[in-house]
Amino acid sequence: MYKISIGCDHAATTHREAIIEYLIKKGHQVTDYGTKTSDSVDYPDYAHPVAQDIEDQKSDFGVLLCGSANGVTMTANKHPNVRAALCWKDEIATLARQHNNANIICIPARYTTIAEAILFTETFLNTAFEGGRHENRVNKINCR
């Protein structure tokens, strides 16, 4: 089982709640950074704590959600050793892990159903990094 940090903005609270319920049911340890409101909030306030947990190795994986998932993806990827991947299809979630060794899945709540978001999260967590030819590429991602 994994330690997983999760966060979202106001556009994704329902998705976040469903994903947390799924993760806990599967036995994962979840750190929830919210938001728990549909009132407008700033997505970086929720993306940075999740990315910081990955950077500090407090969590194995992260889950971030916002309307398009672009904002949370851009924010999380500012952190060293974070590889946040925007996933809107199951195959993208698979490839993000297999080829990019992504450690945060970013899901666009306005463009996915709750069932899809749970499926993508499950796929992401259950897919291993292939290494091999991808290892060298992944090692070139960080600027530091």
At residue 106, φ and ψ (nearest 5 deg) are -115, 125
**How many whole angstroms separate alpha carbon 7 and alpha carbon 79?**
15
Residue 73, Cβ density class (10 Å: 0-12 exposed, 13-18 middle, ≥19 buried):
buried
Question: Residue for token digits 């899809």?
Answer: 116
Task: Single out the catalytic residue among 8, 66, 87, 106.
Answer: 66
Residue 79 bears catalytic tag: no
Residue 87 bears catalytic tag: no
The amino acid that residue 18 corresponds to is A
Residues in the chain: 144
- Active-site positions read 66, 99
